[in-house]
Structure 1
Amino acid sequence: MLDTVAKNLGISFPHMYPALLAMHSLVRWLVLTSLLLSLIRAYAGWLHKKRFSHVDHILRHWTATFTHIQLVLGLTLYTISPFVDYFIHHFPEAVHLREVRFFGMEHSLMMFIAVTLVTIGSMKAKRAKEDSKKFKLMAIWFSVALLIIFLSIPWQFSPFTRRPYFRPF
């Protein structure tokens, strides 16, 4: 579908675009997995009044790290994406094209917000004094971020736009 839309708009892809897109797709799974594991530990720790362990610190740290790596890949893709270029240079027309608008505006804005929430949640949890407060902060901030991420990923079942679960390199 991506090729069809691009062909209809007269868009061509930069040489490194497919490889970056594949990496961005792969790192998505690291972000989602680390967020889910962090949330499981955060809710269990918060609700069962557990000690915030070294494993919890490592998970919090790597969740934020994977999220930031994904942000860098996403920003790089944003700067070279023919869809974004088309969106910027043909805004009045492009804003009415679902695929182009999704990647030019919706996906990138929502993901930037989600990365910001993960970053704030990670920093607040790291600085909190009490273990229950660390777990609570992670649980709340990471939950909202995960919800935004889940809604903003172009899943195969998404009503906004569809992409494969895994992209080949």
Structure 2
Amino acid sequence: MATLYLILLTLHNLTRWLVLIAGVWALLVSVRGIGGARPFTPADRRPVALFAGSVHLQVVLGLLLFGLLGATAGRAFSDAPRASFQWEHLGLMLVAAVFATLASALSRRAASNQAGFRVAALWSGLALVVILVGIPWWRPLLRLFS
């Protein structure tokens, strides 16, 4: 069980960087498109979809970790401050996943090109803010099987 936990924790940590890079990329592409009269092309949608997909992958890995922690002798809930953060982290990341999904889905269905860029920028930006607030920055920034 400890080996599975370590593998999932490492994947969760590495995926964090994919989420952050994809989120910044999606936000930059979306904000850049707001000012001009450019069409909202599939190339502009890709970073937003990658961001949403990477957030969903991260949530799945996180839920597996959360379930595994709860299943291993109550380690996840042994001390109150840590347990409190885990619930906050879980809630914030689920909200971020909803925001990233809204960025992808609503920008695809937008009535105009500018509306697509605005919706993608708004929801991607909100998702990124929630993610940045919910990341445990006091933990190792790069954890490789340790």
> What TM-score do you get using the length of structure 2 for normalisation?
0.90
Instruction: Give the C-alpha shift of residue 52 in structure 1.
Output: 1.2
1:61 match:
49
Which protein has greater RCO, CA pairs closer than 8 Å, 6+ apart?
A: 2
**Cα RMSD between the aligned structures?**
1.9
Gaps of 5+ in 1: 1-12, 156-161
Give the aligned residue type for 2:95.
I
Measured against aligned partners, the alpha-carbon deviations of 1:58-96 in whole angstroms (never above 9, x if no partner) come to 1121111111111110111110015994455x6xxx4xx
> What TM-score do you get using the length of structure 1 for normalisation?
0.78
Match of 1:77 among 65, 82, 101: 65
Secondary structure at 1:70's aligned position in 2?
Answer: helix
Counterpart-to-counterpart distance in 2, 1:76 and 1:59: 26
Instruction: Give the C-alpha shift of residue 118 in structure 1.
Output: 0.6
Identical residues among aligned pairs (%): 31
Counterpart-to-counterpart distance in 2, 1:52 and 1:32: 22
Match of 1:98 among 71, 81, 88: 81
1:167 match:
143
Give the aligned residue type for 2:90.
S
Runs of 4+ displaced beyond 3 Å: 82-88
Measured against aligned partners, the alpha-carbon deviations of 1:31-72 in whole angstroms (never above 9, x if no partner) come to 110110110010110122322122112112111111111111
Match of 1:152 among 127, 134, 138: 134
